[in-house]
Amino acid sequence: MCGRYVIEDFQELSETLRQVPFQIDYDPNPTWNAAPSQRLPVIVEDNGAWHLRPMQWGLIPRWTKPGEKPKVAPINARAETLAEKPMFRSLVKRHRCLVPANGFYEWRRTGGPKQPYYIFLKDQPVMLMAGLYDTAKDIAGEPFQTYTIITGGPNVLMQDIHDRMPMIIHPEDAELWMDHDVDALEPLEPLLQPVAGEEMDLYPISTAVNSVKNNNPDLIEPIAEQDFLPET
């Protein structure tokens, strides 16, 4: 799965997507502990232009009544079943998005407390995670956008950490992923494959990341495996 991530440098995002200019619709803040229910930056296509907009992480379907608490608000959508799930099936057609991140966190079972790791691309400062979004209405009847991150099976680097990972879109494939003229899943399926393990790296970090109250650059500082101390 993907349940926490980092997005801290929007200049690097512009460099990653330099072939497709995008408009920043608000003043985004960096975060080193992006978590579900937070409003976070997401790239969408609107009337032929790309926009970076804030959306709440955790998909609330459009049929949810204004102000109603949804029964589920999935933070992840399984790539293998997108065509089967009513919540996601229609979104694949015209509600695909890109979720930028400098890296993401995952936790490995150790026999005791889980050890957190920071995972990132070696040669690309910002990864573009495949996502889906929807627009519901808040209690005042105003449009309210939320999103989910698409996950799939792990690559060889990740398989010892977790059995799921976010599906990352290469910059050269970003235009295809965002193309509204492509409204079927089949031509997009090659994009929803795990990034090769040799393109990524990871290292252990402090368990301070376990608390969403902690949000600073120290969270992505590496530690030695032997420095990991179980939480008390």
Catalytic residue IDs: 2, 106
Contact 57, 37 (CB under 8 A): yes
| CA–CA gap between residue 57 and residue 36 (Å, rounded) | 5
| CA–CA gap between residue 36 and residue 1 (Å, rounded) | 12
Contact 38, 57 (CB under 8 A): yes
| CA–CA gap between residue 76 and residue 84 (Å, rounded) | 15
| CA–CA gap between residue 17 and residue 20 (Å, rounded) | 6
Number of H helices, E strands in the chain: 4, 14
| CA–CA gap between residue 89 and residue 40 (Å, rounded) | 23
